Amino acid sequence: MDHLGELKTEELGLFIDLYELTMAQAYHSEQLEDRALFTLHFRKLPEQRNFMLACGQHYAALLATALRFPPEQLEHLASLDVFTDDFLQWLGNFRFTGDIRVLPEGTPVFPHEPLLEVEAPLIEGQLLETLLMNYVSTETVLASKAVRMVIAAEGRSVVDFGMRRMHGYDAALRGVRAYRTAGLAATSNVLGSLRYGLPANGTMAHSYIQAYKDEMEAFRHYARLYPGTTLLVDTYDTIKGVDKVIRLVKEEGFEVGAIRLDSGDLAELARASRKRLDEAGLDQIRIVVSSGLDEWSMQEIIDAGAPVDGFGVGTKLGVSEDAPAIDLAYKLTEYRKEPRLKNSPGKKLLPGRKQVWRFRDAHGCYSYDEICRDTEQRDGESLLVTVVRNGEPVGPEPDIEESRERVKRALDEMGPAMLALDRAEKDYDIRISEELDQLYREALEAVSENGSDNRG
Amino acid sequence: MDHLGELKTEELGLFIDLYELTMAQAYHSEQLEDRALFTLHFRKLPEQRNFMLACGQHYAALLATALRFPPEQLEHLASLDVFTDDFLQWLGNFRFTGDIRVLPEGTPVFPHEPLLEVEAPLIEGQLLETLLMNYVSTETVLASKAVRMVIAAEGRSVVDFGMRRMHGYDAALRGVRAYRTAGLAATSNVLGSLRYGLPANGTMAHSYIQAYKDEMEAFRHYARLYPGTTLLVDTYDTIKGVDKVIRLVKEEGFEVGAIRLDSGDLAELARASRKRLDEAGLDQIRIVVSSGLDEWSMQEIIDAGAPVDGFGVGTKLGVSEDAPAIDLAYKLTEYRKEPRLKNSPGKKLLPGRKQVWRFRDAHGCYSYDEICRDTEQRDGESLLVTVVRNGEPVGPEPDIEESRERVKRALDEMGPAMLALDRAEKDYDIRISEELDQLYREALEAVSENGSDNRG
């Protein structure tokens, strides 16, 4: 038995909610094959957020072009006794043939704005739902949490130590891509680092110190092997640990880059450690702190004036503790060129092909967004770009460094209210164009007519 | 480029925090090769929980025996410029040679109780940390949330619809195993169902209804294809939707198994729908509800006396919304046969090889647990079992159905206070044996001596 439980590319088609396949079979049998439009968006920001960073959607679109149902997977499906031979044969020939437009990786995104739109024959669009949502949710949730820590750190380095408590290896690995995009400095995750080019970083665990009878001996040995390393000083007594580091450097000539504090009153201990290090003339030794940090506790440490040079963040980043999910949804918004809507009181859904225009003020700062029909032209920046056309990737693949630059620029262009950790008093101004609103009202009317239909 | 980002078995060794490898190299160069004991446990329950279900640890132990560092991975590591040829060569020959004891899959577990203990040469134990923690965290978090929903449902079926917003595919897939263990009835996750034997289940999405001009036509077509299916009735107007289902069955002779309500006041709509169905003589048609449910809202619906037969749960299960992580830790607790501890005020760590004994009262109900040294004998049920000896799996592989039975039995044996959704006034009684406590105090003294050491 395979205890790793990896997902192989050839199994991708079965990484799907059953109803996508039963609906697809129904469409197939009814020959509902006209083009449809699906919109991936969310309706509400998590309570304490002012924006989300859209991440994963470009990669997800590219992955969709690789979706296949090879014979072995069709056999699995046949075993469920739900699918006809005719449909399974159709699935065996499945290729995505549609178009996908996405927000570039790392784009700040707001409620009702499409992260992605799929235009394709109805069945094809339907079959992508689960895969796209799972894939995009994961990176968007993680990048959106990570960027808050980057903001809170006010220029200090933020390093990801969280893989051990993340939800499985897929989140832990692709999380590193999201973290690099969001602006983290490094990760402890070796494979993630190798795959996604965020520098690998690590210090030592308490167990390392404990394995030696003597803390000094543990420090000495580590510093000999890794000149310039970071030493974890709080296994027994933090201040005595700092004193040992000072002796190691001053008396024994070792090179130490930083100390790490991982317990106790971090601000207080950072101040005391800094004082001792400076008095010893070791102002080049940096202080990094960790231990259950999130963006709020990081902000507190900085507000307390603690001389901290970097943060190691773990679990609260890795599971996006305050908002482990967003209400991302993938909705049918057009079929046979007609707008489609579900009648959900209070849940506004914008029909048809859309474009998001972002406007900046005279200082280059975010001013407002306008969601328009895609046929409208505006004098701002249009955000959605086509990355898949007729089932084939078009344009360059995303470059993570470019995505990171995009986030960096966005942080410069969003005002302080948007960058605050708490929800701004006034939400970012998202406008809906007159034409789109008109379409929305027409679609709503069509829905009411349908809803009042009594016979069918 | 590979956009799926799957983890291949041969890459498993690099799914690791960098410091595990740098510490391992340090141990290797110092020939710190004596046997060590590592304990996987947590110190605190999430705020609203009375117990956790330990899941994943047996599989994780088996996976550890497959850990290798093939040549291609060693090349990746060499590229980091941190590792010596000598160490990389050693890694190339790495095989886990130690012993692992675990709680059986699905065992209720409490603070300080080992979910797993590794006894192995120090380096080997260290190299397993990240993998074990990530793997066990994922399933334990998900199973522990799922079982609360099973409890809240009071015998009604609970179906997993959550894969789309879970953190990546690994969590979504192994989550199905955790859900089956916890007692869910079915999952929408096709591949998860095929892998882990939880029945696949699904209804339809609103987009399916919307794709048809007419709701009745959509229902008719689906019921024709899938006799006995569940129809989603709330796309336009819930009660009108129910009336259409009634006509479909009564006038057109279709077979419908259930209706699903996915918006609005679920308890109220369930009552109104039940009334209409019953008046039409269709008491065999079940009512299932979904829409952002968690264990509390399920309980409310049941407490309101709503005639609900089943629940579809999604995001709040899939990310374990109220407690997306636990403070699982993997700690060195013995080295060279001597207990080891980190000196953390308020963070009790139990040293040495341990056994957990579970005691039941005269009615067969949980009475208390006693954590003992593994050399002690008690008259209760001993929980930790050896599943890996000298690097080889021993005993049968876990059987998911047996794990599910174990959970079911446990729910019968835990009293109502433990099964309540809110934290019980009194925590479950976890005792520490006198011998273990004695060892703990000795270890603490040794720590203090080490901490007061000033020269090393």
Class of the domain covering A9-142+324-452: alpha beta
pLDDT at A218: 96
Q: How many CB pairs under 8 A join A and B?
A: 379
* Averaged pLDDT for residues B197-222: 93
Alpha carbon distance A378, A356 (integer Å): 10
pLDDT greater than 60 at residue B445: yes
What are the pLDDT digits (tens) for B405-440? 999 999 999 999 999 999 999 999 999 999 999 999
pLDDT at A346: 62
**Beta-bridge partner residues of B41:** B329
pLDDT at B344: 63
Alpha helix (H) residue ranges in B128-254: 129-152, 168-182, 190-196, 206-211, 215-225, 238-250
Of A6, A80, A206, the CB nearest to B9: A6
Alpha-carbon distance B282 to nearest alpha carbon in chain A (angstroms): 19
Alpha carbon distance A308, A317 (integer Å): 19
pLDDT at A343: 61
- Tell me the pLDDT band of B349, cut-offs 50, 70 and 90: confident
- Tell me the pLDDT band of B392, cut-offs 50, 70 and 90: very high
What are the pLDDT digits (tens) for A126-140? 999 999 999 999 999
Alpha helix (H) residue ranges in B259-387: 266-279, 295-303, 315-318
Mutation choice for B interface testing from A164, A234, A235, A238 by most B CBs within 10 A: A164
Of A170, A190, A212, the CB nearest to B170: A170
Q: Compute the CA torsion angle B287, B291, B292, B298 (nearest 10 deg).
A: -20
Residue B159 in contact with residue B183, Cβ under 8 Å? no
Asked if A165's CB is within 8 angstroms of B133's CB, the reply is: yes
- What percent of chain B has a predicted confidence (pLDDT) above 70? 96
Asked if A19's CB is within 8 angstroms of B216's CB, the reply is: no
Per-domain boundaries in chain A: 9-142+324-452
pLDDT greater than 70 at residue B450: no
Angular region, A106: left φ>0, alpha ψ -120 to 50, beta rest: left
- What percent of chain A has a predicted confidence (pLDDT) above 90? 89
pLDDT greater than 90 at residue A394: yes
pLDDT greater than 60 at residue A452: no
- What percent of chain B has a predicted confidence (pLDDT) above 90? 89
Question: Which of B14-23, B331-340, B343-352 has the highest mean predicted lDDT (pLDDT)?
Answer: B14-23
Q: What is the residue-averaged pLDDT of chain B? A: 94
* Averaged pLDDT for residues B97-113: 98
Alpha helix (H) residue ranges in A197-281: 206-211, 215-225, 238-250, 266-279
pLDDT at B456: 31
pLDDT at B210: 86
Mutation choice for B interface testing from A25, A167, A215, A224 by most B CBs within 10 A: A167
DSSP H or E stretch at residue A29: helix A18-30
Q: Which residues are CB-neighbours of A63 under 8 A, at least 6 positions away?
A: A12, A131, A135, B3, B4
B451 or A51, which is more confident? A51
User: Which chain A residue has the Cα nearest residue B318?
Assistant: A325
* Averaged pLDDT for residues A288-304: 97
Tokens of A30: 């009814």
pLDDT at A449: 66
A345 or A230, which is more confident? A230
pLDDT at B346: 62
Record the pTM: 0.97
pLDDT at B345: 61
pLDDT greater than 90 at residue B280: yes
Alpha-carbon distance B126 to nearest alpha carbon in chain A (angstroms): 9
pLDDT at A98: 98
For tokens 């001389």, what's the residue? A307
Alpha carbon distance A317, A315 (integer Å): 5
pLDDT at B5: 81
Q: Which residues are CB-neighbours of A405 under 8 A, at least 6 positions away?
A: none
Asked if A79's CB is within 8 angstroms of B213's CB, the reply is: no
Tokens of A241: 């640990």
Alpha carbon distance A215, A210 (integer Å): 7
* Averaged pLDDT for residues B373-392: 97
Alpha carbon distance A406, B22 (integer Å): 34
pLDDT at A432: 97
* Averaged pLDDT for residues B358-381: 96
pLDDT greater than 80 at residue B35: yes
Fold category of B9-142+323-452 in CATH:
nicotinate phosphoribosyltransferase (3.20.140)
pLDDT greater than 90 at residue A152: yes
pLDDT greater than 70 at residue A313: yes
Q: Strand, coil or helix: what is A453?
A: coil
User: Which chain B residue has the Cα nearest residue A315?
Assistant: B325
pLDDT at B446: 78
**Burial of B294 per CB tally in 10 Å (0-12, 13-18, 19+):** buried
What are the pLDDT digits (tens) for A171-209? 999 999 999 999 999 999 999 999 999 999 988 999 899
pLDDT greater than 60 at residue A455: no
Tokens of B251: 């006038």
pLDDT greater than 90 at residue B183: yes
- Tell me the pLDDT band of B340, cut-offs 50, 70 and 90: confident
Of A169, A244, A319, the CB nearest to B15: A169
How many Cβ atoms are within 10 Å of B220's Cβ, its own excluded?
19
pLDDT at A214: 92
Asked if B19's CB is within 8 angstroms of A188's CB, the reply is: yes
Could you write out the DSSP letters of every residue in A50-82? S-EEE-SHHHHHHHHTT----HHHHHHHHTTT-
ipTM above 0.90, yes or no: yes
For the domain B153-318, what is the CATH code? Answer: 3.20.20.70
Asked if B26's CB is within 8 angstroms of A222's CB, the reply is: yes
User: Which chain A residue has the Cα nearest residue B138?
Assistant: A167
Q: How many CA atoms lie within 13 A of A298 on its CB side?
A: 29
Alpha helix (H) residue ranges in A153-235: 168-182, 190-196, 206-211, 215-225
Tokens of A305: 């004036």
pLDDT greater than 80 at residue B2: no
pLDDT at A450: 59
For tokens 């079911």, what's the residue? B408
What are the pLDDT digits (tens) for A409-442? 999 999 999 999 999 999 999 999 999 999 999 8
Could you give the C-alpha distances from A262 to A279, B21, B346, in angstroms and in order? 22, 20, 14
Q: What is the residue-averaged pLDDT of chain A? A: 94
pLDDT greater than 80 at residue B359: yes
Residue B140 in contact with residue B328, Cβ under 8 Å? yes
* Averaged pLDDT for residues A301-323: 98
Of A32, A36, A59, the CB nearest to B3: A59
Mutation choice for A interface testing from B2, B8, B19 by most A CBs within 10 A: B19
Angle value at C-alpha B359, between B353 and B365, nearest 5 degrees: 145
Of A163, A203, A217, the CB nearest to B130: A163
Q: Which long-range contacts (CB under 8 A, 24 or more apart) does A354-363 make?
A: A354/A39, A354/A114, A354/A117, A354/A384, A354/A436, A355/A382, A355/A383, A355/A384, A356/A103, A356/A113, A356/A114, A356/A382, A356/A383, A356/A384, A357/A381, A357/A382, A357/A383, A358/A383, A360/A413
Q: Strand, coil or helix: what is B375?
A: coil
pLDDT at B176: 98
Asked if B343's CB is within 8 angstroms of A325's CB, the reply is: no
Alpha carbon distance A90, A110 (integer Å): 38
pLDDT at A224: 96
pLDDT greater than 90 at residue B453: no
Of A170, A202, A211, the CB nearest to B18: A202
Alpha carbon distance A114, A129 (integer Å): 14
Angle value at C-alpha B269, between B264 and B275, nearest 5 degrees: 170
